Amino acid sequence: MATKKFTGPSPYTLKPTYPEVDFMHTEYVNNVAANSKTEAPPVVGAIFGLGRAGSIHLSNIINNPRIILKYIVDDRPERFNGLRSHWKLNDNVTFLTSKDKDIVYSDKSVNVVFIGSPTYTHHEIVVNSIANNKDIFCEKPIAESIEDTKKCYEAAKAKRRILFAAFNRRFDPAYRALKDRVRKGEVGHVQILKVTARDSPLPSIDYLKTSGGVFHDCLVHDFDMSCWVLGELPIRVQATASALIPEVKAIDDFDTIAFLLTFPSGAIAIGDNSRYSVYGYDQRLEVFGKNGMIKVENERPSHSTELYIGQSGVTLNPIYYSFPSRYNVAYRREIEHFLDVVQYGVTPDVTSWQTLAVSKIATAAEESARTGKTIDIDWSEDDIPAVYS
């Protein structure tokens, strides 16, 4: 019998369905059906900075039919020939060093600027690009200080331009699904959020010297994740930090950090961070509440493959080694979202006040780590909504 009574109709007579979570299949289906939003002409862009972050964005820009790349600005001209040949760029793409950046600002055909240059250069590029009517995709943080970040957003508001802060983790499918499920109430009232972020590979000391410090360079992602998942802003910040790597200590930064954020709902976020994780880019997020727990574990290349099973246990592939590999999809999706905002007026996912709020939390956490004090945050003076969308 083998339960033949459940045979049912032929699958050929049914409309096929597939799980929504398979976003890559959706992308494929849209490509097959040529379902793109074709009415808007491509944006014309320039990119500043082709280091670790800029190189990720460059490959996504070049492969995106919604963008025509016109300028690449970087201060390592010795790489220009190699890059042109590697990416098969024709003469429509001009390479410049930053001393010639005014060519980009004054070119009226350029309507978007991507910024992946060092943090200390952002403020100047943002302000000049906005003054020349360009929309901006800017790597986090927008500027080195809260004051300069505010000035950037004020300039964007005055000129009605988009200034998008690239918080890439928001566009990671696993983190977004976790956030959506928490917001739908699957775990009920949240008690604890735990976030682990351990960097890999170890950034160069030259990079760390101009990074703005680990709280503003790395932990901003964890503060943003905590607030974004919970939908609120912390009222208390505590952090402790060590510099175990002598070169990091010598520049008065930290490589090992733990933090606690307390939220008005009573939820507590616990974070641990490291500048260097030898086994790969360790990224985990867990939310525990009244009705259960939801977790995002580390992802791996070919994660379903068990490499070896023996008497000592099971060996798996290592986790993704770096941020470009772990967040490959997120980087692509954040650019798509930015283009939706520019071309179709979609509401930006990352708002000005969220970027400012995260910057304020980072400043408080660094103060807590440096002084040993608990920092209470009063949001009333900042004109910041209490609900973090």
Ligand X SMILES: NC(=O)c1ccc[n+]([C@@H]2O[C@H](COP(=O)([O-])OP(=O)(O)OC[C@H]3O[C@@H](n4cnc5c(N)ncnc54)[C@H](O)[C@@H]3O)[C@@H](O)[C@H]2O)c1
| Residues at the site binding ligand X, with contacts judged by CB under 6 A | 48-54, 73-76, 98, 116-119, 121, 139-140, 166, 168, 207, 217, 323
Cβ partners under 8 Å of residue 34, min gap 6: none
Smallest distance, Å, CB 249 to ligand X?
A: 21
Smallest distance, Å, CB 75 to ligand X?
A: 4
Smallest distance, Å, CB 302 to ligand X?
A: 23
Rounded-to-integer distance, Cα 114 and Cα 51, Å: 13
Rounded-to-integer distance, Cα 58 and Cα 41, Å: 20
Q: Rg of the chain over CA atoms, in angstroms?
A: 23
| Minimum CB distance to ligand X smaller for 138 or for 269 | 138
| Minimum CB distance to ligand X smaller for 53 or for 237 | 53
Question: Counting every residue, how long is the chain?
Answer: 389
- Per DSSP, what are the bridge partners of residue 196? 272, 284
Smallest distance, Å, CB 144 to ligand X?
A: 10
| Minimum CB distance to ligand X smaller for 119 or for 200 | 119
Smallest distance, Å, CB 330 to ligand X?
A: 9
Rounded-to-integer distance, Cα 318 and Cα 149, Å: 38
| Minimum CB distance to ligand X smaller for 139 or for 148 | 139
Smallest distance, Å, CB 209 to ligand X?
A: 10
| Minimum CB distance to ligand X smaller for 197 or for 239 | 197
Smallest distance, Å, CB 91 to ligand X?
A: 21
Any idea what DSSP says for residue 330?
Answer: H
Smallest distance, Å, CB 135 to ligand X?
A: 18
Residue 320 tokens read as 């993704």
| Minimum CB distance to ligand X smaller for 221 or for 263 | 221
Rounded-to-integer distance, Cα 78 and Cα 87, Å: 16
Rounded-to-integer distance, Cα 170 and Cα 207, Å: 24
Rounded-to-integer distance, Cα 282 and Cα 298, Å: 6
Rounded-to-integer distance, Cα 139 and Cα 355, Å: 11
Characterize the bridge pairing of strands 306-310 and 313-316. Answer: antiparallel
Question: Helices 352-371 and 220-230: crossing angle, nearest 10°?
Answer: 120
| Minimum CB distance to ligand X smaller for 167 or for 263 | 167
| Minimum CB distance to ligand X smaller for 199 or for 232 | 199
Half-sphere exposure of 232 (CA within 13 A, CB side): 19
| Minimum CB distance to ligand X smaller for 83 or for 316 | 83
Smallest distance, Å, CB 264 to ligand X?
A: 28
Residue 69 tokens read as 């790349």
Rounded-to-integer distance, Cα 180 and Cα 100, Å: 45
Question: E strands of 263-376, at which residues?
Answer: 268-274, 282-289, 292-296, 306-310, 313-316, 375-376
Query: H or E element: which one contains 78?
Result: none
